[in-house]
Amino acid sequence: MTVNNAVSAIAGVFIMGSLLASSINFNEPNWLWMTFFVGFMLFQSAFTGFCPAAMICKALGAKDDNCRS
Protein backbone atom coordinates (compact mmCIF):
# COMPACT_ATOMS: atom_id res chain seq x y z
CA MET A 1 0.00 0.00 0.00
CA THR A 2 1.32 3.44 -0.85
CA VAL A 3 1.40 6.36 1.54
CA ASN A 4 -1.38 8.20 -0.34
CA ASN A 5 -3.63 5.16 -0.22
CA ALA A 6 -2.93 4.63 3.47
CA VAL A 7 -3.64 8.27 4.35
CA SER A 8 -6.90 8.16 2.38
CA ALA A 9 -7.92 4.97 4.16
CA ILE A 10 -7.08 6.38 7.59
CA ALA A 11 -8.96 9.62 6.87
CA GLY A 12 -11.99 7.69 5.64
CA VAL A 13 -12.07 5.48 8.73
CA PHE A 14 -11.76 8.48 11.07
CA ILE A 15 -14.48 10.44 9.25
CA MET A 16 -16.89 7.51 9.16
CA GLY A 17 -16.14 6.69 12.78
CA SER A 18 -16.77 10.22 14.01
CA LEU A 19 -19.99 10.51 12.01
CA LEU A 20 -21.14 7.16 13.34
CA ALA A 21 -20.28 8.16 16.91
CA SER A 22 -22.18 11.45 16.57
CA SER A 23 -25.23 9.71 15.10
CA ILE A 24 -25.34 7.01 17.80
CA ASN A 25 -25.21 9.56 20.61
CA PHE A 26 -27.55 12.35 19.48
CA ASN A 27 -26.82 14.44 22.56
CA GLU A 28 -23.10 14.68 21.78
CA PRO A 29 -22.38 16.53 18.49
CA ASN A 30 -18.78 17.18 19.59
CA TRP A 31 -17.69 14.12 17.60
CA LEU A 32 -18.11 16.32 14.51
CA TRP A 33 -15.03 18.28 15.59
CA MET A 34 -12.99 15.17 14.78
CA THR A 35 -14.47 15.19 11.27
CA PHE A 36 -13.52 18.88 10.95
CA PHE A 37 -9.97 18.19 12.18
CA VAL A 38 -9.40 15.39 9.65
CA GLY A 39 -10.75 17.54 6.82
CA PHE A 40 -8.63 20.49 7.91
CA MET A 41 -5.48 18.38 8.06
CA LEU A 42 -6.15 17.01 4.57
CA PHE A 43 -6.72 20.55 3.27
CA GLN A 44 -3.62 22.07 4.83
CA SER A 45 -1.42 19.15 3.78
CA ALA A 46 -2.31 19.85 0.14
CA PHE A 47 -0.64 23.25 0.48
CA THR A 48 2.11 22.68 3.04
CA GLY A 49 3.06 19.05 2.49
CA PHE A 50 2.94 18.45 6.27
CA CYS A 51 0.88 15.36 7.06
CA PRO A 52 1.36 13.53 10.37
CA ALA A 53 -0.57 10.51 9.07
CA ALA A 54 1.82 10.22 6.11
CA MET A 55 4.82 10.35 8.42
CA ILE A 56 3.34 7.57 10.56
CA CYS A 57 2.56 5.45 7.48
CA LYS A 58 6.12 5.88 6.19
CA ALA A 59 7.50 4.88 9.59
CA LEU A 60 5.31 1.76 9.54
CA GLY A 61 6.67 0.75 6.15
CA ALA A 62 4.21 2.03 3.55
CA LYS A 63 5.79 2.54 0.15
CA ASP A 64 6.58 6.11 -0.83
CA ASP A 65 4.52 7.27 -3.80
CA ASN A 66 7.60 8.55 -5.63
CA CYS A 67 9.33 5.15 -5.63
CA ARG A 68 9.04 2.98 -8.75
CA SER A 69 9.88 -0.31 -7.01
Per residue in 11-25, pLDDT tens?
A: 999 999 998 888 887
Whole-prediction pTM: 0.80
69 lies in some domain: no
Q: Fill in the DSSP letter of residue 29.
A: G
Indicate the residue type of 61. G
Count: domains in the chain: 1
- Is residue 63 within 8 Å of 2, Cβ to Cβ? yes
Within-domain flag for 7 = yes
Alpha helices in 1-69 (DSSP H): 3-24, 32-48, 52-59
**pLDDT, position 24:** 83
Which range marks the domain in which residue 27 is found? 3-59
Identify the weakest region by mean pLDDT among 24-28, 34-38, 51-55, 64-68: 64-68
Identify the DSSP state of 2. B
Determine contact, residues 10/42, Cβ cutoff 8 Å. Answer: no
- 26-31's contacts with Cβ under 8 Å and 24+ in sequence apart are none
In a domain, 67, yes or no: no
